[in-house]
Chain A
Amino acid sequence: MKKILSIILLLLISKSFAFSQCNQSLVKNCCTNISTTSVFLQQFRAKLGDTNTKNDLPVARFSVLMSKGNTYRLDICSALDFEGEAILQLFDGDKLVASTYHTPSKTDFKAFEFFCSKTAIYKVYISFLDGKPGCAVGILSMKK
């Protein structure tokens, strides 16, 4: 009986991890981070392979128009069935504006808020730490 129970519990635990698989459930899961005072706008889905070189890390690139006067929030969630830990960066032209990962302190914030004062087309980059293969979703929401 103990064995059966152990197997059942193991299955249950496996299922809870499977919730963050590389599919639409990852989007839904990541959206639970959005507060009730924010409204979901867009998702950025990235699935990147392994790389042979450290100098040319694979990056998934997206564009998004952000309007001044709005406060946006960007969240990044990595699928647990992949090795890679995702980083989301926001660029204004070539200039890095914000990142979920602070390299000097190796702090992974997983999200940031961005008070926009310049309407422009911004770039969202999603990559994985050390170029490891990964699957992630970035969520753009806006404070109501």
Chain B
Amino acid sequence: MTKLLNLLLVSIASLLFFACSNFTTEDNDETFLQSDSVIASESVEIAKESMEDLIDNVSSPIEIASLLLDEEIPFNKDYIASTAHIDNLITDFDCAINLGVLGTDLGYLNLYDKTSSVMSTVSAINDLTNNLNVGQFFDFDLLKQLATNSNSLDSLVFTSISSFNNMDDYLRSNNRTNVSALIVSGVWIESTYLATQVYTEMENKKIAERIGEQKLILNNLILILENYKSNANFNELLVDFKTLKLIYDEIEIITVDSEPESKIENGMLVIIQTSKSTVDISNEQIAQIGLEVSKLRNKIINNEV
């Protein structure tokens, strides 16, 4: 009985220890904030909500990488941004946009299971998040541990993405939506760069369509950046995005709507959409986008914005 009691006491001590860790400021286990949508009576809040809505629309840093993997496109380390320039980044602007670029690269490396190459990107992200005072959302020891264990790929992907999501939530709830806007801009630039680089070497209809679909996101990014254009750096980025928009304006996305179908499969509700979308994009347009995005990316990673 004494043994059982000791065992139970040890169990309780362990549980209390882990329970307490939920309330430390060092990890990202913060209690949820009340949703903004319920306090939408003031015009400032509505504007903030709309802004966040636009930021949410930028696709995940791993979606393009996932498409490349699905299409059996071989990994190419030349697509990954160098991290040599990170020490030279000082301003929040440069750190945030480069964080988006490297976040996308991290997703690409993770999905292709290139864990041995992850460490320099992870270290660079560590530096950037510390510069932005959001380092508490990244457990770098855990990331390093997962990166060196080939059986932890799913955990590595989850930890990376959830760290980014938690940081993003924190930035927005602390009136640093402008930093979030720059991170998603960096994600978009690097994702589009990746897709156009791959397409240049290997034409693929699905990748072409995905490049064209970036029109939806670009239009939102322009709306977001318009809010911050009084800042010279934001304005310069906005001008570059508007140059890209001129190309995208000629690309047409055609949608045909119809009713979805549903079924139950192994107890799971499955919805099959029957609406369609097609993208009318030419090789020339993709080449133009690739050229402009490369120029913009080089400015960012060479710290020229």
Q: Is A121 an interface residue (CB 8 A)?
A: yes
A142 at the interface (CB under 8 A from B): yes
Residues of A within 8 A of B280 (CB): none
- Could you say which residues of chain B place their CB within 8 Å of the CB of A95? 257
Count of chain A residues near B, Cβ 8 A: 62
Chain A residue at smallest Cβ distance from B27: A24
Contact A117 B276 (CB under 8 A): yes
Kindly state the separation between the CA atoms of A59 and B49 in the bound complex, as whole angstroms: 13
CA distance A125 to B103 in the complex (A): 27
B277 touches A120 (CB 8 A): yes
Q: In whole angstroms, what is the CA distance A46 to B34 when docked? A: 7
Contact surface of A with B, Cβ cutoff 8 Å: 1, 4-5, 8-9, 11-12, 15, 18, 21-27, 31, 36, 39-43, 45-49, 58-65, 67-70, 90, 92, 95, 97-98, 100, 109, 111-121, 135, 137, 142, 144
A-contacting residues of B (Cβ < 8 Å)? Answer: 1, 4-5, 8-9, 11-12, 15, 19, 22, 27-35, 37-38, 49, 53-54, 56-60, 62-63, 66-67, 69-70, 111, 154, 157-158, 161-162, 165-166, 169, 206, 209-210, 213, 216-217, 220, 253, 255, 257, 260, 262, 265, 268-277, 279
Q: Is B260's CB under 8 angstroms from A65's CB? A: no
A60 touches B37 (CB 8 A): yes
Tell me which residues across on chain B come within 8 A of A48, comparing CB atoms.
Answer: 34-35, 38
Contact A118-B273, Cβ < 8 Å, known A12-B12, A65-B59: yes
Known: A120-B255, A121-B57. A41 touches B161 (CB 8 A): yes
- A59 and B19 contact, Cβ closer than 8 Å, known pairs A22-B32, A118-B277, A121-B216: no
